[in-house]
Structure 1
Amino acid sequence: MNMFVIALAVLVSVVAAQQYVPIIAYNNEHNFDGSYRYNYETGNGIIANEQGYLKNAGYPDIEAQVAQGSYSYTGPDGVVYTVTYIADENGFRAEGAHLPTPPPIPEAIARSLAFNAAQGKRK
C-alpha cells in the first residue's frame, strides 16, 4: 500500500509540474478558391499568422501554392524573435534579424558570373 501512495504522489507531482499554455486568440479561415488565413496567440507570447493562395490557378505548368506569414516568440534570453517567410515556386525564404545571412559575393566572382551570363546570351 505504501508503494501505491508513493507512486500516486509522484504521478500527481509530475502532472502538477507540467505547464499549461493557453491559446488566447485563434482564427482560421479557408475559402473555396483554395486561399486561407490563420493566426493565433498563446499565453506565453507566441504569435503566428499565415495566409496562402493558389497562384496561376488553372495553368498546370506554372501553378504554385503560395504561403507567407510570420511568427514571434520570446527566447530564453528574454529577447523577442520574429521570423517572416514566404514559400512559393521559388522555394522557402525566411528573414529575421537573428538568422544568419551568407557573406557577400566577392567582386571578382560577381564580375565572372556577369561575364558568363552575358556569354550565354550571345548564343
Structure 2
Amino acid sequence: MKIIIALSCLLALAYANENANVLRNDAEVNVDSFKYAWELDNSAKVAQEGVQNGEEWKVNGQHSWTSPEGEAVSIQYLADANGYQVLAANPPLPTPPPVPEAIQRALAYIAAHPPQPEH
C-alpha cells in the first residue's frame, strides 16, 4: 500500500514542472488517515485520501490534467487489500490483451493441483 501511495505522489509530481504555479495545496496527515489535494495553474489536479482500518489501508484518489495535445485526462482509483483498481478513466483505458492459452492451462492446472503443505 505504501508503494501505491508513493507511486501516486511520483505520478503527481510528474505533472508539475518549474513553470507551474501552485493554486491550491491542502494536506492533513493523521496516524490512521490522511488526505491531500493540490492544483497547479497548468491544469494538473490531484486529490487523495486514505483511512486505515486495523492493518488495512483504503485509499481513494483522482488525478487530472490536460495533455500536450489539449485532451482532458483523468483517473479515479481505489487502492486497498485487493490492490490498485482504476474506477474511471478518461480517455478509457485500453482493453488488456487476452490471457494466452498456455497460461490459462497452467493456471487451471495449479488450481486443480494446489501445492501440498510441507511436513
TM-score range, shorter chain: 0.5 to 0.7
Dislocated runs of 4+, deviation >6 Å: none
The structure, 1 or 2, with the larger RCO (C-alpha pairs under 8 Å, 6+ apart) is: 2
- For these two proteins, the number of residue pairs brought into alignment is 98
Q: List alignment gaps of at least 5 residues for structure 1.
A: 1-17, 58-62, 106-123
Q: Which runs of 5+ in 2 are unaligned?
A: 1-17, 100-119
Match of 1:29 in 2: 28
* Distance across 2 between alignment mates of 1:68 and 1:47: 14
Please give the TM-score of this superposition, normalised by the length of structure 2.
Answer: 0.59
Alpha-carbon shift at residue 101 of structure 1 (Å): 2.6
- Tell me the distance in 1 between the aligned counterparts of 2:65 and 2:46: 9
Structure 1 or 2: larger helix share? 1
TM-score, structure 1 length as denominator? 0.58
Root-mean-square deviation (CA, aligned residues, Å) is 3.4
| Within-5 A mapping of 1:12-27 | 19-23=19-23, 25-27=24-26
Give the Cα–Cα distance (whole angstroms) in 1 for the partners of residues 78 and 86 of structure 2: 7
Write the distance in 2 (CA, Å) between the matches of 1:100 and 1:20. Answer: 30
Larger Rg belongs to: 1
Distance (Å, rounded) in 2 between the aligned partners of 1:64 and 1:37: 16
Percent of aligned pairs with the same amino acid: 30
